[in-house]
Amino acid sequence: METKSNWEKFRLACGRFGKKTGDAVSIQKMKLDISDIQEKCEKDYAALGKLCYEKLKAAEDLTEQEATLMDAIEEKLKKISDLRVEIATVQNKRYCPQCNTLLDAESNFCSHCGMDMNPACPEVQQAKQEAQEELEAFRNDGAAEEPAEENEPAQPVENAETTEEEEC
């Protein structure tokens, strides 16, 4: 009996001897309560972390630790995004790059935001815009200048443009 812990001595002193089973149950319950609270606390940490992440994305003076964690998160988000795209591709679907709506692969425009789903590379887009402006100028002026329309393969300039588009 010399090996009694202080706690047991304390319990004896308090006249709680014999309530061991009840104590064990209440201790077990309190331990579960701690786990439960810890879990909720982790969720709050995660939510706070997300808020900080959004703030830190715009920040310039990150500490090394912050930068490392930011990179780790971005890498994982990229992997998730890649996997989603892979799943969508297998299902013959794709995501709108603007609003992230899942669309049929054949869709020409996003059904949610109207985004052009077949955008050309910037150079071709610019060429198309210039051609469109030229065409409008021609229509407005009524001048004899040749309009640079897209669907006239007879023009060498148009051929060059088409080739450029295929490269993208």
Which spans of this chain sit near Zn ion (rule: CB under 5 A)? 96, 98-99, 101, 110, 112-113, 115
Nearer to Zn ion, 110 or 127 (CB): 110
CB 64 within 8 A of CB 56: no
> Smallest distance from the beta carbon of 85 to Zn ion, in angstroms?
15
> Smallest distance from the beta carbon of 97 to Zn ion, in angstroms?
8
Query: What CA–CA distance (Å, rounded) separates 42 from 48?
Result: 10
Q: Which residues have CB under 8 Å from 125's CB, separation 6+?
A: 119
Coil vs helix vs strand at 103: strand
Coil vs helix vs strand at 30: helix
Nearer to Zn ion, 117 or 148 (CB): 117
> Smallest distance from the beta carbon of 102 to Zn ion, in angstroms?
10
Distance set, CA 43 to CA 37, 38, 63, 80 (Å): 10, 9, 24, 21
Nearer to Zn ion, 100 or 126 (CB): 100
Query: What CA–CA distance (Å, rounded) separates 32 from 26?
Result: 10
CB 92 within 8 A of CB 105: yes
> Smallest distance from the beta carbon of 105 to Zn ion, in angstroms?
14
> Smallest distance from the beta carbon of 66 to Zn ion, in angstroms?
32
Nearer to Zn ion, 67 or 113 (CB): 113
Nearer to Zn ion, 24 or 113 (CB): 113
